Amino acid sequence: MNLHYLDAALARVHPAWENVLSGASVAPGLQAIDSALAQLSDAGHTIFPPRPLIFNALSFTAPADVRVVILGQDPYHGTGEAMGLSFSVPEGVRIPPSLRNIYKELASDLCSGQPGSGDLSGWARQGVLLLNSVLTVEEDKAASHARLGWQTVTDALIDTVNRDSPGCVFLLWGNYAQGKAERIDRARHLVLCAPHPSPLSAHRGFFGSRPFSQANAWLAARQRGTVSWCHAVGMSDLF
């Protein structure tokens, strides 16, 4: 593909995703997104995450090695927050409210102590695909790129995991993420739905849903190992 704005991001993608992004159903849309982002950037708009991190979720593991998928909607739109992983912020950045609630549920479910940071790269390195449905956003304008065409790209990524992973857990938090459930083969994968961890909805059933222990139990039963949820964010196991 001959891309301009997205070239640095594509250079960091795990090779196993390249056929998806260059496929006939995805490449034309990606080309259109690239042109739109280049025009916005040239016009002086600030776009998050930084260009090399737009496909960060795809840099850690191949589709066949994905063990858990956590779907978000679009990146954080504050300066320095978005890093190309859903719900994650870089080391040293204040932990956003939804991630704070994710950590509260994690502590209730599996861990003790306080997380060291909001950087979830340690999860990604273990086969947790932290994927937003929309991969870019304009500074201080939530959902500003919702109509740019990213959903076609990220739906193809979800479909690839659905097809290539031998069995993984999809954590679908909130109505938007749960709208992707129809794409998932429940005969092969586990789908766990709960309200969004936002302060507006976490008390409606996200708290107490125990997604992390359920995911590990399901993975272990299928000889796919477990995710070290606690240690990867600087917490300790309860047991």
Interval 15-59: pLDDT, tens: 999 999 999 999 999 999 999 999 999 999 999 999 999 999 999
Residue 229 lies in a domain: no
CB environment 125-142: b (16+ within 10 A), e (fewer): ebbbbbbbbbbbbeeeee
> Stretch 63-87: mean pLDDT, rounded?
97
Looking up tokens 């260059």, which residue turns up? 22
Residue 234 lies in a domain: no
Partnered with residue 130 across adjacent β-strands are 70
Whether residue 239 is predicted with pLDDT greater than 80 in this model: the reply is no
Residue 112 lies in a domain: yes
- Choose the catalytic residue: 34, 74, 109, 119: 74
The CATH number of residue 117's host domain is: 3.40.470.10
Residue 237 lies in a domain: no
Residue 78 lies in a domain: yes
Residue 160's nearest CA partner among 35, 33, 14 is 14
- Residue 76: phi and psi, rounded to 5, are -60, 145
Catalytic (active site) residue 74? yes
Number of structural domains the chain divides into: 1
Residue 173 lies in a domain: yes
- Using only C-alpha atoms, the chain has a radius of gyration, in whole angstroms, of 17
- The two beta strands, 47-48 and 137-138, are antiparallel
From residue 148, give the alpha-carbon distance in Å to each of 32, 137, 141.
8, 10, 14
Residue 112's domain comprises 6-222
3-state secondary structure of 131: strand
CB 189 within 8 A of CB 159: no
CA atoms within 13 A on the CB side of 17: 26
CB 145 within 8 A of CB 46: no
Residue 217's nearest CA partner among 207, 209, 208, 226 is 226
Q: How many CB atoms lie within 10 A of CB 111?
A: 21
What is residue 238's predicted lDDT score, i.e. its pLDDT?
82
Residue 232 lies in a domain: no
> Stretch 171-197: mean pLDDT, rounded?
97
CA 191, CA 69: separation in Å to the nearest integer? 10
Looking up tokens 């065409």, which residue turns up? 149
* pTM of the shown model: 0.97
Residue 159 lies in a domain: yes
In the chain, what percentage of residues exceed pLDDT 90? Answer: 97
What is residue 206's predicted lDDT score, i.e. its pLDDT?
98
CA 101, CA 116: separation in Å to the nearest integer? 15
Task: Identify the band that residue 116 occupies on the pLDDT scale cut at 50, 70 and 90.
Answer: confident
Strands (E), 74-168: 111-112, 128-132, 137-138
What is residue 72's predicted lDDT score, i.e. its pLDDT?
96
